[in-house]
Each structure stands twice: as structure tokens, then as C-alpha cells.
Structure 1
Amino acid sequence: MEMFQTTTVLPVNATMALLKQQEVAQDLTPEEQAERRRERRRRQCRMSQRRYRDKKGSAEYNLKLDVNNLREHVQRLRGVRELLETKIWSSRLARDGAVLKAAEQYYAIFSRGMHNPEAGGGRAHEMQVGFVNAFMDEDVVFGDSRGVSGVLNQWHLYTQFHASLSVRMISAQIYGTEDAPIVIVKGVLAVRLNRSSIENMFPHIIANEELVQVLLSREIEYPTSTTYVFNERSQIQRQDLEIDFVTGISNRLGSTYATSRVMQRALISDCCKLGQVSSPDVEVDVRLRMPYILSSDTVV
């Protein structure tokens, strides 16, 4: 059996080049051959580095594209946020303006207290009642009472128990949320006391005519702080009233001790309400009785 051996046939030029390289390699010294091998490795290394740089450059380019896309997306989101903030701010300004305007109108309408329909103030009285019904929730909470009638009743009593009365707004601050804003109004209640004031608010000092005359002689200004809690319909659902009687009377009398005598049994209840407290029929310390106070050597 004849055996056939397969051989690779190279092109003539390639064969001649290979033979030439082999001849050249045989003519090189070992040092030259080593240098040639090092040069060959350097060329391979440079080619590998070039391929790596090309690959790395492509990755960096793609990364830059991603970063630019993210920046554009962030910029669009910022624009959306600014638009929403503008809308929210505009809505908040509109809400704040509405509740603040309502509080200002409330003080303006009751600037001289409650008008008396029996004394020619029927039209003004109707306007006040109508405004309160629109301004306040029908179940408005005021101290221990509920309903608009409790608020109107206190305006009536404050007006009835004083010779004159006026209120004015000093400042207002708005707090709370968009659905439940809270307005805190600082103001002044200016009054002239009369005998009805003493009888209904400070009956325990009636016997001290000198003290009574000092209180009746001039106008008294009480600092006030009123908190209005609004509902989602921009109506007041709660009103808390604070009247600083102590400061007002102290400024008028010029004596902290005399002021304590006036205020210690005043018929003024929580939320500064009038007409709801009776003088307690309890045993009082002898040091608080009028003869002791009048004979006291206490220095004010």
C-alpha cells in the first residue's frame, strides 16, 4: 500500500522570505537574536496598548454621552420642579392673601364693637352678623362653646360692659398648611370702663371708690393675640382669644400690687370670655380682704 504525505505548499514569495529570515537568523549572534525577540515583544505590546486605548477611548466616550444625557435629564427635572414651586407659591400667596384679607375685614367691621340694632345700628348689625356667618364655620369652636352665636354673644357683652370700645390690628402671621392655614393676629383692645364694667367684671372692688375712679378716668389699652384656625373652605373653625388684662390695667394704675387686687377675682373666664363666671363663694385668706390691703405697708 502506498502512503501519501500531505504537505503545505507556500507561495513562492512567502517561501523565499521565510528562507531569507532563517538565513539571517542563523547569521545573527545570540545577543542580536535576543534583541530581535525583545523588539518583537515591544511591537506586540504597543499593538496591545493601542487596542486597549481604542477600547478605553470608546468606553470613555460612551460614558461622556451617558453623563451628558443625565445632565440634560436633571436640568429638565429642575425646570419641572421650578414650575411646580411657582404654582405652589402662587397658590400659597393667593391663599394667604385671602385669609389675611378676611382677618383684616373682621377687625374693620368690629372696629367699634357690636352695633346696637335698637339704637339705629340695625343695618350695621346685620352686616356684622352676615360677615361672621360667612367668615366662620357654623360649628366654630371658641373656648368652651361651639357655634357662631357664642362669638357674637361675646362681642355683644364686651360692647355692653364698656362705655366705649375699639379694636385694631397691629400685625398678622400666617402658619399651617395649604388646607388648614393658621393666622395669628396681634392687636389692641382699647376701652373706657364704666359702672357696668366694674359690676360685671370687677365687682369685688366696688367698695373701693378711689380705685374705681382711677380705672374710670382714662382709656385702657389691652394687648391682644387672636389665633384663627381655618378649614379647607377658608372659614374659621377655631378661634382662641388672649387679652392681656394685667398689662393694660397695670399700665393704667402704675402698680403691680393694685393690679393684682383688681384681677384676683375678676369675672373673666377662659378665652377671656365675659358673663360666664360668678364670684366664688369661698373662704378667702384674710390677707386678701380690703381692710388688710388698705392698711398694708407693702412697698410697690
Structure 2
Amino acid sequence: GPYRSVPRERSVAFNLTLDVQNLQQEVHNMAVLRDILRTKSLLQRHTPEDSLLHVVKEYFHVFRTGSVLRQAGRKRLMDEQDQSAFMHSVMDAEVDVGNGLHGPDVMMNQMTMYSTFIKFIRLTMHSFDIVVAEDSVVITTNATLMFQILRATIEMIFPHIVAEEWLVSQLVGREVEPTIGITFFFNPEGKCCKYEVDLDFVGAFTSIVKVPEIVNMLLGRALIADNCMFG
């Protein structure tokens, strides 16, 4: 009779409410998924998190001990050709390295100088920062470069103190680990089109010499160009 229909109507209404709640939850889930996919597509378009950061980390790994110099009779997992191939694969053909110089070969040449003029011990990245702009991604890294000062360091970078044996003897053989900031500018094609280096030479030599005037004299005429380029 009429009394039975009330619970049935309540039951139908209750089920409809459940359906509406389920649909609302479904819509919410889809909205969340849409936002995730939208974020992901933005990241994939610029790919700072995945591929570009991976490129930078790979760069620090490939050059962690500088340039692999040819040594007779020694087999290595990676040789100079591998490093050069890597450099050419991640750098734009016209990568700006400062001082009006361009191209991955200039960078390889610098890496060789850094591995010959000093004893390049270890390059270590400690942190990074990513800025995504309209048409580029900039990854700034904070790292340290541990190296040993050689007699070649004095001859090739500080020739003006060669005669100052009292100073040369303080420097040769000493190990330092200054901070180095390396900034990679990536273009829309995902290639590094500009490369900036800031190595704390002042901090490195102040840790040994301690006298600011001598450090100024040492670095003032050092053969180090802008962007920390040797030669």
C-alpha cells in the first residue's frame, strides 16, 4: 500500500544522493588529473625537471675529474672522444662561452687547459636552481672544484711571479677547493646556448697566502679572462 512507497522513495533518493556524490568525486578526480597532466605537459615542453636537469647532472659526471688526457697504455671507460661527443650533443653549435668565443670545441679546449694547467681533482655539484622562462630554461648550479696547484699553474697562469720563489714555493703542491658556480642557458631546442662560470679564485688563493695585497698582486696579472677562461 501507500505506506510501503515512502521507504522505497527514501531509498531511491538516498541512492540518487550517493550517485551525485560519486559523480562529484569523479569530476573532482578528473579535475585533479587534468591539472597534473597540464603541469606535466608544461614540464615536458620545457623539460627542466627531467631531461635538462639530467643533462646538467650528466655534465658534472662526465667532467667530474676534468678532461681525460691520453696516457699511453692506459685503458679507460671514457676517453677524450667520448667527452667531446657528449659536449657536442648537449651544447648548441654556437654556444656562447664569453670573450667573443663560441662552440663546443672551445669548451673542450678550456677543459683540457683546466686539466693541464692545474691538477684537476674533483668537480662536485651541491645544489641547483631552475628558472623556466618563455623560450628558455636556465639552470644555475653551485659546486666546488678541488684542484692542486702545479708548477705548470705558475708558468701558464701566473708567469709574472715565476721569479718570486718564496711565493711559488708557498703555492706549488697545495690543494684548494673553491666554490664554482656554473650556469647553463638552454634554448627551446633543449641545447645549451650560453655557458657561464664563476670560480672563486680569490677565496682559493686567500686560503693559502692570507695576505690580501699578495693575492691582488697574484690575480691582478693572472692569465685568466672573463668567464674564468685560461689562456
Asked whether the equivalents of residues 243 and 272 of structure 1 are also in contact (C-alpha less than 8 Å), the reply is yes
Any idea what the Cα deviations from partners look like across 1:181-223, whole Å, max 9, x if unmatched? Answer: 1100111111111111101111111121121111113201221
TM-score with structure 2 setting the length: 0.78
How much does 1:164 deviate?
3.7
Name the structure 1 match of 2:94: 139
User: SS of the counterpart of 1:217?
Assistant: coil
| 1:118/1:218 CA distance change after superposition, 3 Å | closer
How much does 1:155 deviate?
0.2
In structure 1, what is the Cα distance between the partners aligned to 2:110 and 2:61? 17
How much does 1:128 deviate?
0.6
Asked whether the equivalents of residues 164 and 193 of structure 1 are also in contact (C-alpha less than 8 Å), the reply is no
Q: Gaps (5+ residues) in structure 2?
A: 1-26
Does 1:239 find its partner at 2:192? Answer: no
Name the structure 1 match of 2:107: 151
In structure 2, what is the Cα distance between the partners aligned to 1:243 and 1:233? 28
Any idea what the Cα deviations from partners look like across 1:256-297, whole Å, max 9, x if unmatched? Answer: 22211211111100111111xxxxxxxxxxxxxxxxxxxxxx
| Equivalent position to 1:111, from 50, 58, 64 | 64
**More strand as a share of residues:** 2
Asked whether the equivalents of residues 92 and 178 of structure 1 are also in contact (C-alpha less than 8 Å), the reply is no
1:222-237 superposed matches below 5 A:
222-237=178-193
- Once structures 1 and 2 are overlaid, which stretch shifts more, 87-96 or 141-150? 87-96
| 1:208/1:224 CA distance change after superposition, 3 Å | same
| 1:91/1:211 CA distance change after superposition, 3 Å | farther
Query: Could you tell me which amino acid in structure 2 is paired with residue 101 of structure 1?
Result: H
Identity %: 27
Q: Gaps (5+ residues) in structure 1?
A: 1-75, 276-300
| 1:107/1:258 CA distance change after superposition, 3 Å | same
User: SS of the counterpart of 2:60?
Assistant: helix
Query: Could you tell me which amino acid in structure 2 is paired with residue 124 of structure 1?
Result: D
Does 1:217 find its partner at 2:167? Answer: no
Asked whether the equivalents of residues 68 and 79 of structure 2 are also in contact (C-alpha less than 8 Å), the reply is yes
Asked whether the equivalents of residues 114 and 120 of structure 2 are also in contact (C-alpha less than 8 Å), the reply is no
Name the structure 2 match of 1:171: 127
Higher RCO by CA contacts (8 Å cutoff, separation 6 or greater): 2
Asked whether the equivalents of residues 67 and 112 of structure 2 are also in contact (C-alpha less than 8 Å), the reply is yes
Name the structure 2 match of 1:88: 38
Name the structure 2 match of 1:30: none
TM-score with structure 1 setting the length: 0.61
Name the structure 2 match of 1:44: none
How much does 1:179 deviate?
4.1
| 1:92/1:225 CA distance change after superposition, 3 Å | farther
| Equivalent position to 1:271, from 217, 227, 231 | 227
Name the structure 2 match of 1:298: none
Asked whether the equivalents of residues 184 and 195 of structure 2 are also in contact (C-alpha less than 8 Å), the reply is yes
How much does 1:80 deviate?
8.2
Rg bigger for which structure? 1
In structure 1, what is the Cα distance between the partners aligned to 2:220 and 2:64? 29
Does 1:206 find its partner at 2:162? Answer: yes
In structure 2, what is the Cα distance between the partners aligned to 1:174 and 1:130? 25
Equivalences, count? 199
How much does 1:176 deviate?
2.4
- Once structures 1 and 2 are overlaid, which stretch shifts more, 88-97 or 145-154? 88-97
How much does 1:93 deviate?
4.8
In structure 1, what is the Cα distance between the partners aligned to 2:208 and 2:34? 53
- Once structures 1 and 2 are overlaid, which stretch shifts more, 246-255 or 103-112? 246-255
Name the structure 2 match of 1:97: 50
Any idea what the Cα deviations from partners look like across 1:63-92, whole Å, max 9, x if unmatched? Answer: xxxxxxxxxxxxx8x988755542232235
Considering only aligned residues, what root-mean-square deviation do their CA atoms show, in Å? 2.2
In structure 1, what is the Cα distance between the partners aligned to 2:135 and 2:82? 28
